[in-house]
Chains A and B, each alone.
Chain A
Amino acid sequence: MGLFAMAKPAEPYPDFPAAAAGSRKRVRRMVNRVGLQAVLPAAMLVLVVSASGRAESGGLEAKIQYCQDCHGPSGQGYRGFYPIPRLAGQQTEYFENQLRAFVERRRPNNVMANVAHVLSPSMISALAADFRSFNPPPLGGAPRRQVAEGRRIFEDGLPGANVAACAACHGPDAMGKGQVPRLASQLYPYLVKVLTNWGKERGQLPAHPDTSFIMAPVAHSLTRAEIEAVAAYLSYLK
């Protein structure tokens, strides 16, 4: 079931911006009709009201709960229609960089672009620190058959296929460092999806290249079976 979801194209929500465009047009029409003088005080009032509204609903506690609604009560990830990645124990630098990547569309994902768009830099740092501190057990559920093969690929690479050892950058325990993410305990279907679609999901803004280019040749060189093996190994790694 999960594999079907993974096979979907990288851009799963094609029609998001439509609603926003409609309301913008409506606002412009209203401004033209009433004139700028009349609208300005009203606009300021709206700003004040929405700012105070944001203060009420934008506390760190509420925001963490909001993240947990999808990413699991302790950030361990969740198998929804799309695999929703584990955030617990993630490197803060990687975490923050990904939230910026959603906003800048380096990593296209309409849901996460909306989520990240309203987060202040200080909120992003606070969330990164919080999820870094969680340590739930892995979600599990991956096929166990390929775990040994996955471990071999992770630790030794595939010299014949020009694949470096994953451990060289992600660390011997796959805990990551800085912008290099922790992979240990990550969801199996998520890892398979990301490695399969790397060239379509990461580094999508040529004008703003990021560190994701390092992974591109590696992901490209792995076969489907090798991707599944290394994902299965990592999904059980604590």
Chain B
Amino acid sequence: MRYTRLETTALVMVCLAASALLAHAESLAIRNCTWCHGSSAQGYTPAPRLAGQRIPYMENQLLSFRAHARNNPFSKQYMWGAAASLSPQAVRNLAVYFSSLPPEAANDGDRELTSFGKTIYQQGLPDANIAACVACHGPNAEGVAEIPRLGGLAYTYLKRRLQQWGEGYHPSAKAPMPRIAGNLSRDQIEALASYLSFVK
């Protein structure tokens, strides 16, 4: 079967137009995220940094916003709507994109609290039955697979999220975070959030 020159030109134009439309849709979805999370996705209060976050973690979170499982006030207000019409493939594409951006540390915690925060993170408090975060989140809080990167997230975001576990939000989350964070005191949470905000 042979194409005339006109048919070939038409075919190429259709293909180009389709890919341009797809790329446009993709960039619209990304722009919809960066309105709040920042144009390089480094986070902008109260929206957390997405740059460098783990792909399976971001996929899980977007799906749990869509299912209304992650249910704290900001999630309800912003993310339930934002994730409502994302297909699994769109979720995947967004996670891959944001994960590829290099993360920067927020460095906005209280410097005086970092040494206590580091102790909790790296060693835990065995006397108080508080597990060492390092076992799951890694020596530089880099996370792995469904376990999020925590290093360099903003102090206010980390503090709020740690508090919300204890307040009963997102109860369907897999063990053990609701229990572990629920056992942390206010001082311990502030120390951890301070330490992590400086971790690269």
Residue pairs across A and B with CB atoms within 8 Å: the count is 84
Q: Could you tell me which residues of chain A, from 28 to 60, have a CB within 8 Å of some CB in chain B? A: 50, 53-54, 57-58
Q: Which residues of chain B are within 8 angstroms of A111 by Cβ–Cβ distance?
A: 123-124, 132, 134-135
Number of interface residues of A (CB under 8 A): 35
Decide: A114 and B179 in contact? CB cutoff 8 A.
Answer: no
Q: Could you tell me which residues of chain A, from 1 to 35, have a CB within 8 Å of some CB in chain B? A: 1-2, 5, 12-13, 15-16, 19, 22
Q: Is there a chain A Cβ closer than 8 Å to B75's Cβ?
A: no
Decide: B145 and A84 in contact? CB cutoff 8 A.
Answer: no
Q: Is there a chain B Cβ closer than 8 Å to A160's Cβ?
A: no
Q: Which residues of chain A are within 8 angstroms of B115 by Cβ–Cβ distance?
A: 19, 22
Q: Which residues of chain B are within 8 angstroms of A220 by Cβ–Cβ distance?
A: none
From B127, which residue of chain A is reached at the shortest CB distance? Answer: A118
Decide: B129 and A66 in contact? CB cutoff 8 A.
Answer: yes
Decide if the interface of chain A is mainly helix, strand, loop or mixed.
Answer: helix
Decide: B119 and A19 in contact? CB cutoff 8 A.
Answer: yes
Q: Could you tell me which residues of chain A, from 50 to 89, have a CB within 8 Å of some CB in chain B? A: 50, 53-54, 57-58, 62-63, 65-66, 68-70, 72-73, 78-82, 84
From A109, which residue of chain B is reached at the shortest CB distance? Answer: B135
Q: Which residues of chain A are within 8 angstroms of B139 by Cβ–Cβ distance?
A: 12-13, 81
Decide: B179 and A81 in contact? CB cutoff 8 A.
Answer: no
Q: Which residues of chain B are within 8 angstroms of A50 by Cβ–Cβ distance?
A: 127
Q: Is there a chain B Cβ closer than 8 Å to A215's Cβ?
A: no
How far, in angstroms, from A22 to B122 measured CA to CA in the complex? 16
From B175, which residue of chain A is reached at the shortest CB distance? Answer: A73
Q: Is there a chain B Cβ closer than 8 Å to A110's Cβ?
A: yes
Q: Which residues of chain A are within 8 angstroms of B144 by Cβ–Cβ distance?
A: 1-2, 5, 80-81
B151-185 Cβ-contact flags toward A at 8 Å (1 or 0): 00000000000000000000000011001100000
Given A19-B115, A19-B119, A114-B135 contact (CB < 8 Å): no
Decide: A68 and B176 in contact? CB cutoff 8 A.
Answer: yes
Given A19-B115, A80-B147, A81-B136, A69-B123 contact (CB < 8 Å): no
Decide: A57 and B129 in contact? CB cutoff 8 A.
Answer: yes
Q: Could you tell me which residues of chain B, from 95 to 140, have a CB within 8 Å of some CB in chain A? A: 115, 118-119, 122-124, 126-132, 134-139
Q: Which residues of chain B are within 8 angstroms of A114 by Cβ–Cβ distance?
A: 123-124, 126, 132
From A68, which residue of chain B is reached at the shortest CB distance? Answer: B176
How far, in angstroms, from A97 to B200 measured CA to CA in the complex? 37
Q: Which residues does B use to contact A, with CB under 8 Å?
A: 115, 118-119, 122-124, 126-132, 134-139, 142-145, 147, 175-176, 179-180
Question: Nearest 8 pairs between A and B by C-beta?
Answer: A80-B136, A81-B138, A66-B129, A69-B131, A69-B176, A118-B126, A111-B132, A19-B119
Q: Which residues does A use to contact B, with CB under 8 Å?
A: 1-2, 5, 12-13, 15-16, 19, 22, 50, 53-54, 57-58, 62-63, 65-66, 68-70, 72-73, 78-82, 84, 110-111, 114-115, 117-118
User: Besides the contacts A66-B126, A81-B136, A114-B132, what 15 more A-B pairs have beta carbons closer than 8 Å?
Assistant: A1-B145, A2-B144, A2-B145, A19-B119, A50-B127, A57-B128, A63-B129, A65-B179, A68-B175, A69-B176, A78-B136, A80-B135, A80-B144, A81-B143, A111-B132
